Amino acid sequence: MDTTAKIYEDLDRILVTREEIRQAVEKLGRQITEDYQGKDLVMVCILKGASLFFTDLIREVDLPLSTEFMAVSSYGSGTSSTGVVRILKDLDRNIENRHVLIVEDIVDSGKTLYYLMQVLSQRHPASISIAALLDKPARRVVDLTTRYSCFNIPDAFVVGYGLDYDEKYRNLPDIGVLHPRIYQADDA
């Protein structure tokens, strides 16, 4: 779909275009290919937000990597996470002595990834790093290092390319700022 699609009327503005995403994903794929040469790489998709980023990114990595999927839920709903994380679906395979790259759509407070890094580190991987599409540094409340991140964005409520509001808008090919009237209407 293009940006004249009806669903785009719910956006205030587009923040990252599909073309910018495509270029960033290609560049990151090349970087990962270089950095993980000769290593047993496991790329871990954190559902659901990272799903689109993940499937595009792995196709740009020229290595015999394996894929894993993990589903977590930060208790509560709405526009911010609480930091209390529950594992809804764990990895299928052992990651001991393997190089793990966690793929996330967005680092906001950082609490979700901080928790995941702790949990997965205890399984003795050879290394563990984070690749995030979006980073909101202004919102960070924990000390977290992301090895790769594509875009720093302002503290706005963003949707699209996997990111949702109330489970909707994940299917937008671009990333945009949700129009406040959408969540204000839900709050009323």
| 160 lies in the binding site for ligand PRP (CB under 6 A) | no
CA dist., res. 33 & res. 94, Å (int): 22
Binding window for ligand PRP (CB under 6 A); candidates: 21-29, 105-113, 153-161, 175-183: 105-113
Taking the complex as a whole, how short is the minimal distance between the CB of residue 51 and ligand PRP, in angstroms? 8
| 149 lies in the binding site for ligand PRP (CB under 6 A) | no
Q: Which 8-state DSSP code applies to residue 10?
A: G
How far, in Å, are 54, 67, 95, 182 from residue 99 at the CA level? Answer: 17, 12, 8, 41
Catalytic residue among 10, 90, 92, 108: 108
| 104 lies in the binding site for ligand PRP (CB under 6 A) | yes
| 32 lies in the binding site for ligand PRP (CB under 6 A) | no
Query: Is 11 or 106 the residue whose CB approaches ligand PRP more closely?
Result: 106
Which is it for the CA torsion 70, 87, 93, 100, positive or negative? positive
CA dist., res. 45 & res. 169, Å (int): 19
Question: Catalytic residue at 108?
Answer: yes
Residue type, 101: L
Kindly state the tokens that stand for 94. 């052992």
| 120 lies in the binding site for ligand PRP (CB under 6 A) | no
Binding window for ligand PRP (CB under 6 A); candidates: 22-30, 52-60, 93-101, 102-110: 102-110
Q: Which 8-state DSSP code applies to residue 112?
A: H
Q: Which residues of the chain form contacts with ligand PRP (CB under 6 A)?
A: 46-49, 74, 81, 104-112, 164
